[in-house]
Chain A
Amino acid sequence: MTAEKLLTRNFGRADSHTLRAYLESGGYTAWQKAQALEPAAITEEVKQSNLRGLGGAGFPTGTKWSFIPKHHTGPVYLVINADEGEPGTFKDRYLLEREPHALIEGMLIAARAIRAAKGFVYIRGEYVEPWRRFSAAVKEAYDAGYLGRGLDVVVHRGAGAYICGEETGLISSLEGKKGWPKVKPPFPAIKGAFGMPTIVNNVETICHVPHIINRGAAWFASLGTKTQGGTRIFSVSGRVRKPGIYEASVAITLRALIYELAGGVAGNGRLKAVVPGGSSAAILRADEIDVTADVDGLRNAGTMAGSAGVIVMDETVSIPEALMVVARFYAHESCGQCTPCRESTGWIYQMTKRIVEGRGRKDDLDTILDVARRGAGTTICAFYDGAVGPYISYIEKFRAEFEALIPN
């Protein structure tokens, strides 16, 4: 099930990041076309395409754009979330390095739709080469007159904090503060960066926009499922024979992705578990992978498509150890603002660690489940809910493996 490549179509070219290569592959023709369209018509086209946010939340992109207040007369900002950090995800790194002009063209079109004259691209601080490549493309786009005539783009580097990938945490960080998420409402579309209406979109989401404008919403929608259009880039890692990025229809099944595209299971060759959407997604057992990988398909399977970071585990992998590693991550990255998250992530990491080290106590597993369930939904942002997904699913689905490590 290898759909036509959109986002990765030029990745075979060594110079795919240059303006020349982008123009040769039809680049900036969608922008030409979009300039003749009314902003509302662009938003409507994106709505009809069923494009959903590809950073993690899966929110319908056109709908998000339509939340910008109609009669607002002050500035509106477009912010690109290039703070890729969800464990198991690496697609935006490729897009920034190899298709930066698609992001710029998508920004031009999105900015017209929401009437933004300024765009910020927030790139994680560790991404030095992606930042250099993207900055060079921005310069090319200014020199060629695509930017600077209605849209200015500021490339902003993060400084190391996973929480800045959360859109309101990102906005706080962009405003020169620590990256604490903000209470919603008001949503960023009403009151976002610097107090102005703001749309925050993921890199990959925006890179799709030129294709939608060029070839139409109906075509894009037809590539996916009834509720999500298009392709997306799956980042596949862990115990597979061919780890890497794979662009496929969002309607691909996890089984086809792992066995047909990524070459099957490495390690001892027998599948034990799959994390389908970055580490914040609930884990699936080997017998649960005959599901489509779109937002609603995975939601119905009790997990989430998230950022499409697919982490594969063969039978030799210790699930308790995997949970300990994941729990350490959430303990480290909790921003500390909300008590349930700050406290639980730290304690749950300590408990998973002592279980793995053979010092677990009889009631540890039930305590973790209880703490996880009580805290879910009580915090300002979705970070803690993202930690609760793995806490509960790893233990519920592989409980015997945890119990075997706890001394009698």
Chain B
Amino acid sequence: MAGRQAQRRGPRGRGELELEVLSCLAAADRSMTPAEVQQTIGDLAYTTVMTTLSRLHAKGALERQTAGRAYAYSLVGGERMARSNMAAHQMLKVLDEESDRAGVLARFVAELDPADEKLLAKLIGQATPSTASPRRTTRRPRTGS
């Protein structure tokens, strides 16, 4: 999917921008400067990224240190928070299973059976994933983990 030129539609809402920036930082799992965030997301103006980051900082969602001439932003207590959410997440999962998929959770995707797995891989023109070891599917540019 590298090099895909997507024709974007319309400006994003404030809520969506914040989610995008936050998920970008969570995926990177390190502090990032506005320039790095902009480069990763790709199709946002630098000022938009700057504004979003400082707004999130003002809300207390991000912390920042000076990195050279710019600020580097990172999630506040990201990992600790992620761990503290696990209990509620587990309970929600159980609740969802019990309630016979009656719409407590709207899951993004579920697991595939082997036939669907092959079909899907073919549909998007990808080689069938090896079922052996977990394969790194990350395709983000330059985020040495």
- A and B physically associate: no
Question: Residues of A with Cβ closer than 8 Å to B?
Answer: none
